[in-house]
Chain A
C-alpha cells in the first residue's frame, strides 16, 4: 500500500499540472486518496462540503432534473 501511494499522487499531480479543465475531478481524486490512504485530518469544511454536495443531488432528483449527458438519445446518423 505504501509503495502504491506515491505513484498515485504522482499521477494526480501530473494531471493537475497539465490541465485546468479537469482540475475539479483530480482534486476529488486527491481528496479521496488522502482520506483512504493517509493519516490526514479531515477538516470541518471538507466534511460539510462533501455532505452538502451529496445533499444537493437530492434536490436535483426531486426537481426531476436530468442533465443532457444522462439522457439516452438517438444514435448518430
Chain B
C-alpha cells in the first residue's frame, strides 16, 4: 500500500545546522532508498516556508498569499512516497528519517479511487 510520509520539523534547526552535520544528515536522507530498496518510491526536500505561496479560490476569486498554509512551530520540510505492506513497515522507514529525532513524521495512506 502507498503511504505519503511527511516530514515536519522547525526549519531553523535545519538552516542553523553546522555544515558537517548537514552533510551527514543529507547522506542519511539520500541513503533511505538504499536502506529500504523495496519501499522508498521517491521523495524531495522542500525549500523553506519563506518561499511558499498559498492559493485559495473563494467565490470564483483566486486569492494568492505569501507563506505556507498555516504558521506552525514545525514546518513541512520534505516528504517521501513509500510502498509498504502495512503500517508497521511504514513506521520502520519513518523512524529512520533524521528529522524524526527533532520533529514529527506524519504517515498518511494514499487514497485509491
A in complex with B: no
